[in-house]
Amino acid sequence: MALAVIGGALLSAFIGVLFDKLASPEFVNFIRGKKSDKLLQKMKRQLLVVKVVLADAEKRQITDSNVKEWLDLLNDIVYEVDDLLDEASTKAATQKELSNCIKLTKLPSGMQNLVNLRHLEILHTPIKEMPKRMGKLNQLQRLDTYIVGKHIENSIKELGGLPNLHGSFSIEELENVTKGEEALEARIMDKKHITHLSLEWSIGNDNSINFQIELEVLSKLQPHQDLESLFIRGYKGTRFPEWVGNFSYQNLTYLYFHNCKNCCMLPSLGQLPSLKFLRISYMKSVKTIDAGFYKNENCSSVTPFPSLEWLHIFDMPCWEVWNSSVLEAFPVLKDLHIQNCPNLRGDLPKHLPSLQTLLVTNCELLVSSVPRAPTLRTLEIRDSNTVVFHEFPLLVESIEVEGGPMVESMMEAITNIQPTCLQSLTLQNCLSAISFPSDRLPASLKTLDICGLKKLKLSMQHKHELLESLSIKNSCDSVMSLPLATFPNLSTLEIKDCENMKSLLVSGSESLKSLNYFHISYCPNFVSFPREGLSAPNLTSFSVSHCDKLKSLPNQMGTLLPKMEYLNISNCHQIESFPGGGMPPNLGTIEISNCEKLLSSKTWVCMDMVTSLKVQGPCDGINTFPEEGLLPPYLTSLCLYNLSSLETFDCKGILHLMSLRALYIESCKKLENIAGETMPVSIIKLSIEGCPLLQKRCHKKDREIWPKICHIRGIKIAGRWI
């Protein structure tokens, strides 16, 4: 402590010591590393004030009681400041946080001399090897990654000198360990404070692998028995050592095997008493998961996987059979995912009493039954052959199925059971003629998403009162007009790729009071909205796209759609103008894409509620834009994008936009001129991207372009501010 020897001397000399500490590289870097530059400057200012006042006090008689009392108080304060600086400096000297430094490829060669270093974080850096003799840093407590080198000075043996490592620790490039004895010298078993361990081999040439050595290395890397999480990636042996999955790992909760592609069988894991999360991926030599996966001979009486809640198996190209005959296994399993296992044929587990989510995707040969799962809430099966229901989960709330056999199986199950809790149903890609039982949707259904079901018969005879979201994509060829009264409480309606859809129908004064979002696209024969207009008092978003025969938007949008905020019109070439009766008063954003006739409409100027406009091409017939007086008068943001034939931007067309703040011009390849007078003084940001001809002219030497834009505060050209 610097103050310990000051005694009764004046404090002013010590202020200089404090300034030296504040200015030290270690302290400055520590503070800056914590994003606290303001704190550093504040401390400097405060000590400057103290120094000035103290200089004045020293000129007085210390026997003056008031001055003496004040100096005593100041003495205590400076003690506290000194303690703080000492602590900060100590931390600065013992911590090096380098994670996410994406350009850092090498650590300092003299790293071993930082004998007080306690924290070194290099995760997510491209560092290729560790410095020499890292084992000398025996005070190190936090080292997230160690990269095993090929030389004795940075080999795995150096880890033997790091007994105090805590928390998460990853050892990478273990292929550089050539003997089991080398791995043993790392003394992984003695590192009692590591809770999460990752053992990783690089992906590379496997031609010269000695499988016995691989097994010995992993055997000698056995961690202590209080480990909580283990990740093994790229292990090149043909089998796992006995410690993997051993019952003695009472606290192991997370286990992940990835790309251990030479292992032909999984280790016995069912006896791990606390295992909650198990993930297995890309073990391409595994063909069978048999009874040995559940229990070994020493733990035959233990319920397999007594605590497992989450099991994910994916990217297993050769896996064929899952022996699921152990009925008592997985008593608390909640989440089961099986993905990208194209050769899996065997059954899934027959009974999973706690299962809540089942996801099976890209298992083309799988023929199985859905496990008996009375608590199942979410079911998703895609690109799989046939998964049938022997007992339909009555509490299921969400179902997504894809493929003809699965859709047919699902419709049959719904017909037989009539589920009462089903709220969301997604059906995709089935060529068969199918329909809902008694032409009614499940009574509890709130969301229906159908795609690729051209022969689905969707009944319009009964109202579906609870349905809130309806999406019809490339489906229901028999439906030519959609009577909206059938779905009185919809909040979301999306129609896409329906070739035969011609119109929407409403009766009289019917109102879709709940409708909030409407989108229709790629319906080439869609010609009209209801003649009376579309009454949806709570609609906020309206989008129509690629409807080649549509000539007009709904009538009376201003009164029937009073809350609409967003309007998108794209590739509707027959629409020439906005409807009469005015536009919605809350309409703030409009996006127009490739609608040349609409862009030439003179009805724009009446839209004084619109503040943001995006105009997108190609619009091959537009060479100059915008026309004078064309655009809505109160725009604050204007974006032009991909106008393929645009050659001139005319400032006269925006001079009346006194509120315009931002102008974006993007991907207009032929644009090379800005005509008219200067741009409005209200613009504070101009961004020009992907316009090579114009970008070449946006500089001070161009006497035609530069005077028109130089007053703008922020100008960004090709990604650079100028």
pLDDT tens digit sequence for 295-329: 876 666 679 999 999 999 999 999 999 987 778 89
pLDDT band at 437 (very low <50, low <70, confident <90, very high): confident
The band of 44, judged by pLDDT with boundaries at 50, 70 and 90, is low
pLDDT in tens, 443-475: 899 999 999 999 998 878 788 889 999 999 999
> 398 in helix, strand or coil?
strand
Rounded to an integer, the average pLDDT of 65-84 is: 57
pLDDT digits (tens, 9 = 90+) for 478-510: 999 999 988 999 999 999 999 999 999 887 678
pLDDT at 6: 38
Interatomic CA distance for residues 377 and 365, integer angstroms: 25
pLDDT band per the 50, 70, 90 thresholds, residue 127: confident
> Could you tell me the two tokens for 368?
């199985």
- Estimate the share of the chain in helix, then strand, then coil, as percent rounded to the nearest 5: 25, 25, 55
Among all chains, which residue has been given the structure tokens 């009469």? 580
pLDDT at position 299, please? Answer: 63
Q: In the prediction, which pLDDT does 19 show?
A: 54
Residues 6+ apart with CB under 8 A from 408: 430, 432, 434
pLDDT at 70 over 70: no
Top-ranked range on mean pLDDT: pick from 89-93, 107-111, 154-158, 291-295: 154-158
CB-CB neighbours of 157 under 10 Å: 19
> Between residues 363 and 5, which one has the greater pLDDT?
363
Mean pLDDT for the chain? Answer: 86
Q: Which is more confident, 210 or 520?
A: 520
Sign of the Cα torsion 686, 687, 691, 692 reads: positive
Give pTM, 2 decimals.
0.79
pLDDT > 90: what percent of the chain? 61
pLDDT bin (cut points 50, 70, 90) of residue 344 is very high
* pLDDT score recorded for residue 684: 95
Residue 216 has pLDDT above 70, yes or no: yes
Q: What is the pLDDT of residues 538-566, one digit of tens each?
A: 999 999 999 999 999 998 999 999 999 99
Is the CB of residue 656 less than 8 Å from the CB of residue 629? Answer: yes
Categorize the per-residue pLDDT at 2 as very low, low, confident or very high, splitting at 50, 70 and 90: very low
The domain ranges of the chain are 8-93, 480-587, 607-722
Beta bridge partners of residue 340, listed in sequence order: none
pLDDT of residue 532: 84
Say which residues have a Cβ less than 8 Å from residue 245's Cβ, sequence separation at least 6. Answer: 267, 268, 269, 271, 272
Both structure tokens of 657: 């936009």
Of 38-42, 114-118, 162-166, which range is least confident? 38-42
Amino acid symbol at 154:
N
